[in-house]
Amino acid sequence: MLPNGRVGFIYAHPDDETFLSGCLIRQLADEGGKPVLLLATRGDAGFKNGDYSHVTREELGGIRDEEIAAASSLLGLDAVEQLG
């Protein structure tokens, strides 16, 4: 962890951070760290099935934006950036 408490996580898609390092991110936040997340995409080109089979790519991106906002709050992320 850097002296300012920052720890960076970089993933390709929204939800990768939750599945792959959610416990570590939450632990760092609980210990006073400031975990930040950089995502390469919005997750808008992902496979669509079930409840999302009818949505457009733009709509799917909006849904994924809402999901990452909720996840970032639960995980204690200090900042989230998406490259798109």
Residue boundaries of the structural domains of the chain? 6-82
Residue whose tokens read 């898609």:
13
CA angle 37, 42, 43 (to 5 degrees): 110
d(CA 38, CA 58): 20
Predicted TM-score (pTM) of this structure: 0.86
Assess contact for 35 and 78: CB atoms under 8 A: yes
Closest to 44 (Cα-Cα) out of 74, 83, 76, 75: 83
Each residue of 22-46: pLDDT tens digit?
999 999 999 999 999 999 999 888 6
Reply yes or no on whether the pLDDT at 9 is more than 90: yes
Reply yes or no on whether the pLDDT at 50 is more than 80: no
d(CA 76, CA 84): 22
Q: Is the dihedral of CA 9, 30, 76, 32 positive or negative?
A: negative
